[in-house]
């Protein structure tokens, strides 16, 4: 019998897989990827996981262990990961369309057919992506998004393919922990435990009215999803409410010039992300803070300002952000962290102007668009705004970053025969 299925494609150990894609010599060897400034481990190969090294652990704490086990460690190369992500989903769409991208390495899809047809479809998706892109993936399919997540988790260490039907799920959910279900976070899980709901079967056996009364519409939807009723339907991705860039300094600084470079760097990041999303912002915020463990812990400063009209250009946001910084700065305070956030985000095509708004600039700005095209083609920062001079010094510490295999002609891999 034909029915509606919900599937999920998930790239296995995605950041690690991207690095291995251009380094086949690293297959079956321990590989880890670090966060910005080479601070924490954010991706692990199975070999690293087998060492019981947890996700998010500070690199310095496990550096010796990794070295002893001949592990290869990379600084995060997010430009590479984004381009590989685009390839994965573009390839996926050649055999399954439409898809709903959920994250950089996950996408949901919907399929109507028999159980056997569903099995053939997920096999085709997996084989096509792995052959055309080279990144290993897992594909799970079931009756709802939540159950597709469960199916995907079940297949990670097996074939990478799983169809979870209602009969099998009815047997599994007797002992399946609620805390492991997608959408149930730490606080929600704590509330459920306090109410005596530990397993999925406990939750499904609870009175629907009680579930709605205690946990609202979110709890009701999760319960329906666990019953195999798909209620989290596909929808267009909404614009983020805000975009932020922040980072701690390697050493504390009292110099305004260093803070200006840092804020300029963050402005460049958030404004670029705005334009990539086809959006503009109506507000910018700047914050600077000292170490949480020193004598100046109460000297954190924060300020924000509304724009007269929605903007997305680096220069326009940067001028206001630097003004804010100079108002916030206190001489003699050793600052440890700085950041920028833009909010009030609107699409380019829909701008809500105020009564006192001057003649709006053309969005997107032609000059800014040209700069973005050049920087994407060659290297970010090749062309930059005058007030950003020095901002490149503040770019992330990435002492072990792989080459820009997919975005720079000069760093293409060389093959010798």
The DSSP 8-state label assigned to residue 356 in this structure reads: T
Neighbouring residues of 90: CB distance < 8 A, sequence distance ≥ 6: none
pLDDT digits 0-9 by tens, 287-301: 999 988 888 988 999
Q: Which of 54-68, 276-290, 366-380, 388-402 has the lowest mean pLDDT?
A: 388-402
- Rounded to 5°, angle at Cα 402 from 369 and 129: 80
pLDDT, the chain, mean? 86
C-alpha 274/C-alpha 270 separation (Å) is 6
The tokens describing 151, both together, are: 């199916």
Domain boundaries, the chain: 1-172, 242-394
Top pLDDT among 339 and 232 is at: 339
Residue 109: which H helix or E strand, with range? strand 106-113
C-alpha to C-alpha distance for 102 and 48, rounded to whole angstroms: 26
Note the pLDDT tens digit of each residue in 270-280.
Answer: 998 888 888 88
Which residues does 362 contact at the CB level (< 8 Å), separation at least 6? none
Higher pLDDT, 248 or 220: 220
Considering only CA atoms, which of 306, 284, 304, 271 is closest in space to residue 384? 271
Nearest to 84 by CA among 33, 149, 146, 136: 136
Residue 295 is given by DSSP the state T
| Of 141, 212, 216, 153, the residue nearest 181 (C-alpha) | 153
Residue 385 has pLDDT above 70, yes or no: no
pLDDT tens-digit readout, 188-208: 889 999 999 999 999 999 998
What pLDDT score was predicted for residue 236? 44
pLDDT in tens, 112-159: 999 999 999 999 999 999 999 999 999 999 999 999 999 999 887 788
The CATH superfamily holding the domain 242-394 is: DNA polymerase, Y-family, little finger domain (3.30.1490.100)
Which residue's structure tokens are 């009209």?
Answer: 309
* pLDDT at position 278: 83
Domain 1-172 falls in which CATH fold? Answer: Alpha-Beta Plaits (3.30.70)
Q: In the structure encoding, which two tokens stand for residue 53, read together? A: 């090294």
What's the burial of 144, exposed, middle or buried (CB within 10 Å: 0-12/13-18/19+)? buried
pTM for the whole thing? 0.72
Quote the CA–CA distance of 5 and 230 in Å, as a whole number.
9
**CA separation for the pair 48, 401 (Å, rounded):** 19
Higher pLDDT, 169 or 390: 169
* Residue 335 burial (C-beta neighbours within 10 Å; 0-12, 13-18, 19+): buried
**What would the two tokens of residue 129 be?**
């992506």
Concatenated DSSP letters for 207-250? -HHHHHHHHHHHHHHHHHHHTT---S---PPPPPSEEEEEEEEE
Neighbours of 271 (CB within 10 A): 29
pLDDT above 60: residue 351 = no
Residue 1: exposure state from Cβ atoms within 10 A (0-12, 13-18, ≥19)? exposed
Contact present, 400 and 39 (Cβ < 8 Å): no
């Amino acid at each position: 019998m034909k029915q509606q299925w919900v599937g999920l494609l998930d790239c296995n150990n995605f950041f690690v897989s991207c690095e291995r894609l251009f380094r086949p010599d690293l297959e079956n060897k321990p590989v880890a990827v670090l966060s910005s400034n080479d601070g924490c481990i954010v991706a692990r190969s199975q070999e690293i996981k087998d060492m019981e090294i947890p996700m998010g652990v500070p690199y310095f704490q496990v550096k010796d262990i990794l070295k002893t086990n001949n592990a290869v460690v990379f600084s995060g190369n997010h430009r590479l990961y984004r381009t590989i992500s685009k390839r994965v989903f573009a390839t996926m769409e050649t055999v399954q369309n439409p898809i709903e991208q959920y994250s950089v390495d996950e996408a949901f899809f919907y399929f109507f057919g028999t159980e056997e047809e569903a099995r053939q479809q997920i096999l085709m998706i997996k084989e096509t992506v792995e052959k055309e892109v080279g990144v290993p993936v897992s594909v799970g399919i079931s009756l709802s998004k939540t159950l597709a997540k469960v199916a995907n988790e079940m297949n990670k260490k097996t074939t990478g393919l799983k169809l979870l039907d209602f009969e099998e799920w009815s047997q599994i959910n007797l002992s399946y922990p609620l805390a492991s279900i997608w959408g149930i976070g730490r606080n929600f899980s704590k509330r459920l435990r306090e109410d005596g709901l530990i397993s999925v079967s406990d939750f499904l056996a609870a009175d629907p009215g009680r579930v709605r009364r205690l946990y609202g519409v979110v709890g009701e939807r999760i319960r329906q999803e666990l019953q195999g009723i798909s209620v989290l339907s596909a929808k267009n991705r909404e614009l983020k409410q805000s975009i932020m860039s922040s980072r701690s300094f390697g050493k504390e600084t009292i110099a305004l010039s260093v803070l200006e470079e840092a804020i300029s760097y963050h402005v460049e990041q958030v404004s670029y992300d705005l334009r990539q999303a086809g959006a503009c912002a109506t507000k910018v915020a700047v914050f600077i803070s000292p170490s949480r463990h020193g004598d100046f812990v109460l000297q954190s400063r924060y300020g924000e300002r509304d724009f007269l009209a929605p903007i997305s250009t680096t220069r326009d946001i940067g001028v206001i952000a630097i003004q804010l910084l100079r108002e916030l700065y206190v001489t003699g305070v050793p600052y440890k962290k700085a950041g920028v956030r833009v909010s009030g985000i609107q699409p380019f095509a829909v701008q809500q102007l105020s009564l006192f708004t001057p003649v709006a600039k053309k969005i997107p700005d032609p000059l800014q668009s040209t700069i973005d095209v050049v920087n994407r083609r060659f290297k970010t920062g090749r062309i930059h705004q005058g007030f950003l001079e020095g901002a490149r010094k503040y770019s992330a510490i990435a002492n072990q970053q792989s080459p820009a295999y997919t975005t720079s002609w000069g760093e293409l891999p060389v093959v010798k025969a």
